[in-house]
Structure 1
Amino acid sequence: MSVPPLRLGNNFDSYISGEVMIHPSAVIAPGVILQAAPSSKIIIGSGVCIGMGSILKVHEGTLEVETGANLGAGFLMIGSGKIGANACIGSATTVFNCSVAPGQVVAPGSVLGDNSRHWSDSVAVTEKTQQPQPSTTNPASRQEDIDIQEDLWNSQSNSSLSSATQDSQLDTQGKQEPTTESPNNIGTHIYGQGSIQQLLITLFPHRQSLKKPSSDEQSE
Structure 2
Amino acid sequence: MSTIVWQPTPVTKADRRRLNGHSSCVVWLTGLSGSGKSTIACALELALHERGVRTYLLDGDNLRHGLNRDLGFSADHRAENIRRTAEVAKLFVDAGVIAICGLISPYRRDREAARALFEPGEFVEVFVDCPVEVCKARDPKGLYRRALAGEIKGFTGIDDPYEPPHDPDVVVKTDRTPIQACVKAILHHLEETGRLGLRDNAAGERAAGER
| Class of the TM-score when normalised by the shorter of the 2 chains | under 0.3
Structure with the higher fraction of residues in helix conformation: 2
Scaled by the length of structure 1, the TM-score of the pair is: 0.16
Work out which structure has the larger RCO, using CA pairs closer than 8 Å and 6 or more positions apart in sequence: 2
Instruction: Decide which structure has the larger Cα Rg and report it.
Output: 1
Scaled by the length of structure 2, the TM-score of the pair is: 0.16
